[in-house]
């Protein structure tokens, strides 16, 4: 017996129950099947510190739509979930808790005790975002959930590090890196966000040694770094300074000589043409310094304060020192001028602090050899970006990529597997912890303090989660390479590029064939959602209010690959209304349902053939859109079919059979209604999984779960092009008549005789029952010639027919005439008043042009309305 649906749809009750049913019964498990093709998605792992935000919700929804679609298409579908240890973010969280709750620092605890605290924190809070993803309907294989510091994934990280080190692709060296004084760690180039900020150019005088009164003038945006200057550079072709090359100048405040060198790096047209060289604090200065053997002197410590090399300024914060240095230079008469200057300032992507370029001994990945293959697989089409324009952004970055700084001055993360010998000074790099030096066999060895960049481990995510580096791991053999990566464009450099070159290097295969890029979700004003703006919207609050299905459908409709979208909370109400529309249509069918098997009847009526043809034509369209990642287009087509074709039309077309006395006709209508509803629930399921599963479970069905049903396919035997066209001609006529009646405010209860003039008489003869009921006609006549009194009748027109209704059938002539005359008089009086205003020179000359134009436009609209009213009155007369 079929289960009844409750009177109203309550998503809060349904969604948790349905999800629990799926999870308990293993519906999400990705099973290896030699008879099926695999389809694999690995989830971009959210930070273990994370709480679901709207960006996560959109990314999760997109992936879930794809995996549910492919699962129904018959693939062995696997969606691998997991979380990232998020080195900087997690350590900061735990350190803040230590400081505020216990007044301690990590150094008070020591490394091992502090890491115990972090693991405790992860155990307590790390699963929060997983539970939140479940509330959205994420159909991941949770039994395969991974964490970037799991034992297996950590082993993969060590394996890769050692292998790349032995190949010379990883090295340690002193180079200019990006340093965050707040997080006190190095950052890679990709982790620096550039923000336009107002600043200044300070023009400073450096006296030429031995030439009193002569100076070189340098311009800088960071006066505090002058304490570490070890030279001044000019262009060798600059006649202004040619005679100074090889001489020295005096570095103010530090009272030491520094050389003047010639280098083509200097732009003669920019600033003064003289550039101060601070090799320890600027990447370009560093390169010039290498060429000219300039000393590198670091003057900032890890917290952004002046260090022991800064003379009397030691201990000052960098910005405090800047003010003091400028004041001292001014007092010495060495401050030429200050000009305002807006420039791009590098900031930490985590905390927003201005980063400092400074020289530091760090670990790096040599990128040039890795970039070649990563570029080739994209250029040759082995990896495709959707939309394609992002491949150009990727290519440009990879062609200009710098070596990747992978060491971080943290305790939480994968500790670098390198040990230095205290006796011979040489290094041992090993996958397992060594007990002695590889070179001199001394047992006096100590491990590197730094950990690896979080992105180093997540770069291995598509294959480390599947059992690699064990090449024989069954999941790795079957599910790798994965198929599609779904992510936003803002981490193409952070993560996508690194996964591609890592996959190519370590597995000799690209990690996926498609990168599906979606945009960023913004607020209703188009602003990026952020804590600082306070404009973030909690997706779980929206899901609680409207249902997860409504939220998901909101996130996908109107969405196009690669483009940002605005989140409009009120749109969720429209999506909830859509869910209610489906629910009510299903309840209507259930209340009229007497069959216990959902199959098509042997005989079909005109309206049955129309809806089946309509369904049959939309299925391949939706499937193609899904295959092209046009999820927003696919969702809109499903919506239109359900709302317009099924609910608004087909149910209405069937009501006379459902409510009539012909049992065979009644069963026939039920069968088609049930079949079409079942198929459209399948089409809607990837987008709105909860409500579709709940309704399907109540309908006659075979199999246990909708989510494991076969995706609908085109069926040639259900294509009825002639009947489809015939039915649509009748429907157009019905719509035209209803529109005309609405314009005249005629209620549905007021019936009228309807004359249809058409060459398609056979078609419209079949449509008479529908015209009578849905066009509110008490009698319908199909003719080929217009009636003799057509001029005095109300008419409506379509491409294939003209419909006529006697005016007296529609309205009380005298009342309507009086109403229209009153409306006409009111509009004429308003027009007269407006024309007087527009003829007044005082208004025309003094009012703003847009106000005058608006009033003129209003006058034209009134004239048009008056003409229509006069025409209608003449017909009544």
Q: Can you tell me the mean pLDDT for 448-463?
A: 95
Please state, in angstroms and as integers, the Cα–Cα distance from residue 788 to each residue in 246, 425, 757, 872, following that order. 108, 111, 12, 19
What local confidence, expressed as pLDDT, does residue 559 receive? Answer: 86
What local confidence, expressed as pLDDT, does residue 876 receive? Answer: 64
What local confidence, expressed as pLDDT, does residue 816 receive? Answer: 67
What local confidence, expressed as pLDDT, does residue 472 receive? Answer: 94
Q: Can you tell me the mean pLDDT for 780-785?
A: 94
- What is 815-876's CATH topology? Helix Hairpins (1.10.287)
The answer to whether residue 349 scores a pLDDT higher than 80 is: no
Q: Can you tell me the mean pLDDT for 280-288?
A: 92
Tell me whether residue 305 is annotated as binding: no
Q: β-pairing, 335-348 with 356-365?
A: unpaired
Per-residue H/E/C for 532-551: CCCCCCCHHHHHHHHCHHHH
Domain 24-169+367-402+450-518 falls under CATH 3.40.50.620: yes
Q: How confident is residue 489, by pLDDT bands cut at 50, 70 and 90? A: confident
- As a whole number, the mean pLDDT across the chain is 92
Q: What is the pLDDT of residues 354-384, one digit of tens each?
A: 999 989 899 999 999 999 999 999 999 999 9
**Which superfamily is assigned to 185-357 in CATH?**
Valyl/Leucyl/Isoleucyl-tRNA synthetase, editing domain (3.90.740.10)
Where along the chain do its domains lie? 24-169+367-402+450-518, 185-357, 572-702, 724-811, 815-876
What local confidence, expressed as pLDDT, does residue 377 receive? Answer: 97
Q: What is the pLDDT of residues 810-864, one digit of tens each?
A: 776 777 677 778 888 999 999 999 999 999 988 888 888 888 888 999 999 899 8
What local confidence, expressed as pLDDT, does residue 2 receive? Answer: 56
Under 8 Å between Cβ of 868 and 876? no
Q: Minimal CA–CA distance to 567: which of 618, 517, 513, 529?
A: 529
Q: How confident is residue 536, by pLDDT bands cut at 50, 70 and 90? A: confident
- In angstroms, how far is the first alpha carbon of the chain from the final one? 62
Token pair recorded at residue 248: 């020295």
Q: Minimal CA–CA distance to 770: which of 619, 639, 610?
A: 610
Q: What is the pLDDT of residues 550-578, one digit of tens each?
A: 999 999 998 888 888 888 888 999 999 99
Residues ≥6 apart with Cβ < 8 Å to 231: 258, 259, 260, 261, 276, 277, 288, 289, 292, 294
The percent of residues above 90 in pLDDT, for the chain, comes to 75
The answer to whether residue 176 scores a pLDDT higher than 80 is: yes
Distance (Å, whole) CA 849 – CA 591: 62
User: If you compute the radius of gyration of the chain from its CA atoms, what whole number of angstroms results?
Assistant: 37
Q: Tell me if domain 185-357 and domain 572-702 are identical in fold.
A: no
DSSP label at residue 711: P
Q: Can you tell me the mean pLDDT for 59-85?
A: 97
Select the CATH number that applies to the domain covering 724-811 from these four: 3.40.50.1970, 3.30.2320.20, 3.40.1280.10, 3.20.10.10.
Answer: 3.30.2320.20
Distance (Å, whole) CA 142 – CA 29: 8
pTM summary value:
0.85
What local confidence, expressed as pLDDT, does residue 1 receive? Answer: 43
Q: What is the pLDDT of residues 325-343, one digit of tens each?
A: 999 999 999 999 999 888 8
What local confidence, expressed as pLDDT, does residue 196 receive? Answer: 86
The answer to whether residue 92 scores a pLDDT higher than 90 is: no
Q: Minimal CA–CA distance to 758: which of 724, 738, 793, 786?
A: 786
Q: β-pairing, 752-758 with 801-806?
A: antiparallel
Q: How confident is residue 525, by pLDDT bands cut at 50, 70 and 90? A: confident
Q: Can you tell me the mean pLDDT for 348-356?
A: 84
What local confidence, expressed as pLDDT, does residue 807 receive? Answer: 77
Q: What is the pLDDT of residues 718-736, one digit of tens each?
A: 999 999 999 999 999 999 9
Domain 572-702 falls under CATH 3.40.190.10: no
């Amino acid at each position: 017996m079929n289960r009844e649906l409750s009177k109203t749809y309550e998503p809060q009750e349904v969604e948790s129950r349905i999800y629990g049913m799926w999870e308990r019964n293993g519906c999400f498990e990705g099973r290896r099947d030699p008879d099926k093709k695999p389809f694999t998605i690995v989830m971009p792992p959210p930070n273990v510190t994370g709480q679901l935000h709207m960006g996560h919700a959109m990314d999760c929804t997109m992936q879930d739509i794809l995996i549910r679609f492919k699962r129904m298409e018959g693939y062995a579908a696997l969606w691998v979930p997991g979380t990232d240890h998020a080195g900087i973010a997690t350590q900061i969280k735990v350190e803040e808790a230590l400081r505020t709750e216990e007044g301690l620092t990590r150094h008070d605890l020591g490394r091992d005790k502090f890491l115990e605290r972090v693991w405790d924190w992860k155990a307590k809070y790390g699963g929060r975002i997983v539970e939140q993803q479940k509330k959205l309907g994420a159909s991941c294989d949770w039994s395969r959930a991974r964490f970037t510091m799991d034992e297996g994934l950590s082993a993969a990280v060590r394996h890769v590090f050692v292998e790349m080190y032995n190949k010379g692709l990883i090295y340690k060296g002193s180079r200019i890196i990006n340093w965050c004084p707040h997080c006190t760690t190095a950052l890679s180039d990709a982790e620096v966000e550039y923000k336009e900020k107002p600043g200044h150019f300070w023009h400073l005088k450096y006296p030429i040694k031995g030439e009193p009164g002569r100076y070189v003038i340098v311009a800088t945006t960071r006066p505090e770094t002058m304490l570490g200057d070890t030279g001044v550079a000019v262009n060798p072709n600059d006649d202004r300074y040619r005679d100074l090359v090889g001489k020295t100048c005096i570095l103010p405040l530090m009272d030491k000589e520094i050389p003047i060198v010639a280098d083509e790096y200097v732009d003669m047209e920019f600033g003064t043409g003289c550039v101060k060289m601070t090799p320890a604090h600027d990447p370009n200065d560093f390169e010039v310094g290498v060429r000219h053997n300039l000393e590198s002197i670091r003057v900032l410590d890890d917290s952004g304060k002046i260090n022991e090399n800064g003379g009397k300024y030691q201990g000052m914060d960098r910005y405090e020192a800047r003010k003091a240095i400028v004041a001292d230079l001014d007092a010495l008469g060495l401050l030429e001028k200050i000009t305002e200057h807006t420039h791009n300032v590098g900031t930490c992507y985590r905390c927003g602090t201005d980063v400092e370029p400074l020289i530091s001994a760090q670990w790096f990945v040599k990128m040039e050899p890795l970039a070649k293959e990563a570029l080739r697989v994209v250029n040759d089409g082995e990896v495709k970006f959707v939309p394609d324009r992002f491949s150009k952004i990727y290519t440009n970055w990879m062609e200009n990529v710098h070596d990747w700084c992978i060491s971080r001055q943290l305790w939480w993360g994968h500790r670098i597997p390198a040990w230095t010998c205290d006796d011979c000074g040489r290094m041992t790099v090993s996958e397992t912890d060594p007990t002695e030096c590889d070179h001199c066999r001394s047992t006096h060895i100590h491990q590197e303090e730094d950990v690896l960049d979080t992105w180093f481990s997540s770069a291995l995510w598509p294959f480390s989660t599947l059992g690699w580096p064990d090449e024989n791991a069954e999941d790795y053999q079957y599910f790798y390479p994965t198929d599609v990566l779904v992510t936003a464009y803002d981490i193409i450099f952070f993560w996508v590029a690194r996964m591609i070159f890592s996959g190519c290097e370590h597995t000799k295969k690209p990690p996926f064939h498609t990168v599906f890029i979606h945009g960023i979700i913004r607020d209703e004003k188009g602003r990026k959602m952020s804590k600082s703006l306070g404009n973030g919207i909690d997706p779980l609050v929206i899901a609680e209010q409207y249902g997860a299905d409504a939220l998901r459908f909101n996130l996908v409709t109107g969405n196009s690959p690669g483009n940002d979208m605005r989140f409009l909370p009120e749109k969720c109400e429209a999506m909830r209304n859509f869910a209610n529309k489906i629910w009510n249509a299903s309840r209507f069918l259930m209340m009229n349902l007497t069959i216990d098997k959902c199959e098509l009847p042997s005989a079909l009526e005109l309206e049955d053939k129309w809806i089946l043809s309509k369904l049959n034509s939309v299925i391949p369209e939706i499937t193609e859109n899904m295959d092209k990642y046009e999820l927003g287009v696919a969702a809109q087509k499903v919506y239109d079919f359900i709302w317009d074709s099924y609910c608004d039309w087909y149910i209405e077309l069937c009501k006379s059979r459902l409510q009539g006395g012909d049992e065979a006709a009644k069963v026939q209508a039920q069968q088609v209604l049930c079949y079409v509803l079942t198929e459209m629930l399948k089409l809607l399921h990837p987008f709105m999984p909860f409500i579709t599963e709940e309704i399907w479970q109540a309908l006659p069905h075979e199999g246990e779960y909708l989510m494991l049903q076969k995706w609908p396919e085109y069926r040639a035997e259900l294509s009825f092009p002639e009947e489809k066209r015939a039915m649509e001609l009748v429907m157009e006529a019905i719509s035209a008549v209803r529109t005309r009646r609405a314009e005249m405010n005629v209620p549905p209860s007021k019936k009228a005789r309807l004359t249809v003039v058409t060459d398609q008489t056979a078609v419209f003869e079949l449509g008479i029952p529908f015209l009578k009921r849905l066009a509110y006609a008490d009698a319908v006549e199909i003719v080929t010639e217009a009636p003799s009194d057509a001029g005095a009748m109300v008419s409506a027109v379509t491409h294939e027919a003209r419909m006529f209704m006697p005016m007296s059938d529609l309205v009380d002539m005298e009342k309507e005439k009086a109403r229209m005359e009153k409306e006409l008089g009111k509009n004429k009086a308003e027009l007269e008043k407006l024309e007087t205003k527009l003829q007044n020179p005082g208004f025309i000359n003094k009012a703003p042009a847009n106000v005058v134009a608006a009033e003129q436009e209003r006058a034209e609209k009134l004239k048009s309305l008056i003409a229509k009213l006069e025409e209608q009155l003449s017909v009544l007369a």
